[in-house]
Amino acid sequence: MAYVDWKLKGPKITSCSCDYGCPCEFNGRPTEELCEGLEAHRIDEGWFGDVRLDGLIYAASFRWPGAVHEGGGTVQGVIDKRATKQQIDALFTILDGKEQEPTTIFNIYGSTIETELDPVFSEIEFSCDFVKGTGGFSVADVMELQMEPIRNPVTNTRHPAKIVLPEGFEFREADMVSGTFNASGDDLGFDRTARYGALTYVSYGPHGLIAEESAPAIWQK
């Protein structure tokens, strides 16, 4: 099947309620049975057909009552307020799983969502430093995530670690960090400290993760 050509490429950061490493990445149960957290993706290079998406950011908060694949999830998306009407339509088309294979990240996660809250259109402050192992994003009065290196409990020195998933659909390799995050609202209110966090660089298209574009040189330093 032919799809509209599109791409979302850039650094992606995420943190959830699991312990460092996140057993879900290994087909295990979530640390606390439920799963809740935040994510954001900055589009360094992107398009949907003739609509350029470079420089825009999208983010989300989420919660599942059990393991993600069991469904029942709640999500709230955030779209960069700088986006034009055309860009918003393009992003919603991609994030809703349209114009792409059913095995892409957006369709896989989308199939587990039961409640989708109204999207927020706001400024998103975003940072990601693969060398320092830091990052974060914030949406004023809605959600915030701060990431720092995992520390050795004895020496307090940085403890680098990675997850490698040769057949991953969300990423193939990610740096592990410590995430502290919060979100507001009756449906998705939470506050977590020193939980699983991941920094990665990904490229998605109509056929899913574009693996050969997922590890720029700076990530290897």
Residues 6+ apart with CB under 8 A from 196: 15, 16, 17, 18, 19, 20, 21, 22, 31, 37, 176, 179
Q: What is the band of 216 on the pLDDT scale with cuts at 50, 70, 90?
A: low
Across the range 146-174, mean pLDDT stands at 96
Q: What is the band of 217 on the pLDDT scale with cuts at 50, 70, 90?
A: low
Domain membership of residue 102 (yes or no) is yes
Domain membership of residue 155 (yes or no) is yes
Look at residue 166 and tell me whether its pLDDT is greater than 70.
yes
Q: What CA–CA distance (Å, rounded) separates 164 from 161?
A: 10
Q: What CA–CA distance (Å, rounded) separates 166 from 9?
A: 19
Residues 6+ apart with CB under 8 A from 84: none
> What per-residue confidence (pLDDT) applies to 1?
78
Q: What is the band of 221 on the pLDDT scale with cuts at 50, 70, 90?
A: very low
Domain membership of residue 125 (yes or no) is yes
Q: What CA–CA distance (Å, rounded) separates 82 from 56?
A: 7
pLDDT in tens, 12-70: 999 999 999 999 999 999 999 999 999 999 999 999 999 999 999 999 999 999 999 99
Look at residue 165 and tell me whether its pLDDT is greater than 80.
yes
pLDDT in tens, 87-144: 999 999 999 999 999 999 999 999 999 999 999 999 999 999 999 999 999 999 999 9
Domain membership of residue 158 (yes or no) is yes
Q: What CA–CA distance (Å, rounded) separates 89 from 111?
A: 20
Domain total of the chain: 1
> What per-residue confidence (pLDDT) applies to 212?
73
Domain membership of residue 48 (yes or no) is yes
Domain membership of residue 1 (yes or no) is no
Q: What is the pTM of this model?
A: 0.95
Q: What CA–CA distance (Å, rounded) separates 59 from 79?
A: 7
Q: What is the DSSP letter of 107?
A: H
For residue 27, the enclosing domain spans 6-220
> What per-residue confidence (pLDDT) applies to 215?
57
Cβ 22 vs Cβ 16: under 8 Å? yes
Chain position carrying tokens 């986006």 = 83
